[in-house]
Amino acid sequence: MKLTFRWYGEKDCIPLNYIRQIPNMSGVVTAVYDVPVGEVWPLERLIKLKELANSYGLEMEVIESIPVHEDIKLGKDNRDQLIANYCENVRRVAKVGVKCVCYNFMPVFDWLRTEMHHQNKDGSNSLSYSYEDFQKVDPNNLHLPGWDESYTPDELQNLLKEYQNISHEDLFNNLVYFLKKVIPVCDEVNVKMAIHPDDPPWDIFGLPRIVSNEADLDKMFHAVPSINNGLTLCTGSFGAGRNNNLSHMAEKYTKQGRVHFVHLRNVLWTDNHDSFCEVGHCSKAGSLDMAKIVKALVDNGFDGYVRPDHGRNIFGEDGKPGYGLYDRALGAAYINGLFEMAEKNK
């Protein structure tokens, strides 16, 4: 496996010089963040990002994400131009040596929590989702932690309205339409597309979600069989769904060669509904058996990219929720241990 770390570009308050000090770190996972969704990324920006990473001895082989424009998900008339731009972005990232692109196909919200700074007993804080708090959210007057700056209230209501007539089947067909145009480009330039699962893996506000479980993945891979149509196995996202068996999924999709990227983090299920809290990476902190998941990857020949996913805010750090330095670095060290043990016992 290749251990990587998410880096939000030059504006990230965590410097590359720190990231490279994490043991076994091979590279950064990044993106061009300030070009509007749907537009083409200037090649010189990609070259600059790559050179910057390389100057600290870090690779830039994974992009997270090239975001998918809502009009593609909605299947609107202008989608062909937007998909052509997406394909051009795939070509451009390939030109600078990128091998894997993480993306998602979630309508409107690509993650959802009810609390950004949930206070844990040990004094740390982390992202959490409470079933009870979610019931109190009024979809007609949405104020969601972490989202209020992304959309104005009017934009959000209009977007939600546009999705009212989009069924799961429609969204799936729009995904397949997208993939049938993008994957041939990936086949040509050797880029692996790694879809990120729904976070959390169920419908919210009546918006359809179609990458929540094994059945969804099987359907998607069946529709577009190229091996470049693959998966980001995000243990925390799938793992919030209590029916998802992560080690089984790791085994099955690694055997198929479709696990191109792995996000490792743990979640703690906190009630009898679907509430969960993000916790430290190790198995004992949460509800997922991280060692079993890593063993399933290694035993079945996984050789893709891995990154520690969300960490807590610890040691007094006031980092971007989920993306502080310290807990993700601890997670990286733990992940190194799990892989070393699994690889030596293979």
Positions marked catalytic: 196, 234, 263, 309-310, 323
- Among residues 90, 88, 82, 96, which one has the least CA distance to residue 52? 96
Phi and psi angles of residue 338, each rounded to the nearest 5 degrees, phi first:
-60, -45
Choosing from 263, 292, 312, 328, the residue that interacts with Mn ion (CB under 5 A) is 263
Euclidean distance between CA atoms 276 and 219, whole angstroms: 27
Q: Which residue is nearest to Mn ion (CB)?
A: 234
Rg (CA), the chain: 19
Q: Can you read off the two tokens belonging to residue 235?
A: 């243990």
100 binds Mn ion (CB under 5 A): no
Task: Annotate each residue in 192-231 with x if it binds Mn ion (CB under 5 A) or - if it does not, as one string.
Answer: ----------------------------------------
Coil, strand, or helix at residue 28? strand
Between CA 231 and CA 103 the distance in angstroms is 9
Tokens of 307: 């990154």
CB of 314 to Mn ion, least distance (A): 19
Q: Give min distance, CB of 195 to Mn ion, in A.
A: 11
86/238 with CB nearer Mn ion: 238
Work out whether 234 is an interface residue with Mn ion (CB under 5 A).
yes
Please, what is the minimum distance in Å from the beta carbon of residue 57 to Mn ion? Answer: 25
Q: Smallest distance from the beta carbon of 309 to Mn ion, in angstroms?
A: 5
CA gap 19, 23 in Å, rounded: 9
Q: Applying CB under 5 A, which part among 70-78, 288-296, 305-313, 330-338 lies near Mn ion?
A: 305-313
Member of 134, 309, 323, 324 binding Mn ion (CB under 5 A): 309
Distance CA 96, CA 158 (A): 37
Stretch in the footprint of Mn ion (CB under 5 A) among 7-15, 60-68, 248-256, 304-312: 304-312
> Among candidates 289, 299, 199, which has minimal Cα distance to 259?
299
Q: Distance (Å, rounded) from C-alpha 311 to C-alpha 277?
A: 11
Please report how close the Cβ of residue 194 comes to Mn ion at its closest, in angstroms.
11
Q: Which is nearer to Mn ion, 85 or 114 (CB)?
A: 114
Cβ proximity to Mn ion, 234 vs 250, nearer residue: 234
For residue 9 the two structure tokens come to: 């570009």
Q: Of all helices (H) and strands (E), which one includes residue 46?
A: helix 43-55
State which residue, 173 or 287, has the beta carbon closest to Mn ion: 287
> CA 234 to CA 60: how far, in whole Å?
20
CB of residue 73 to Mn ion, shortest distance in Å: 19
Stretch that binds Mn ion, among 66-74, 149-157, 208-216, 308-316 (CB under 5 A): 308-316
- Other beta carbons within 10 angstroms of residue 120's beta carbon come to 19
Nearer to Mn ion, 90 or 267 (CB): 267
> Under the rule (CB under 5 A), what is the footprint of Mn ion?
234, 263, 309
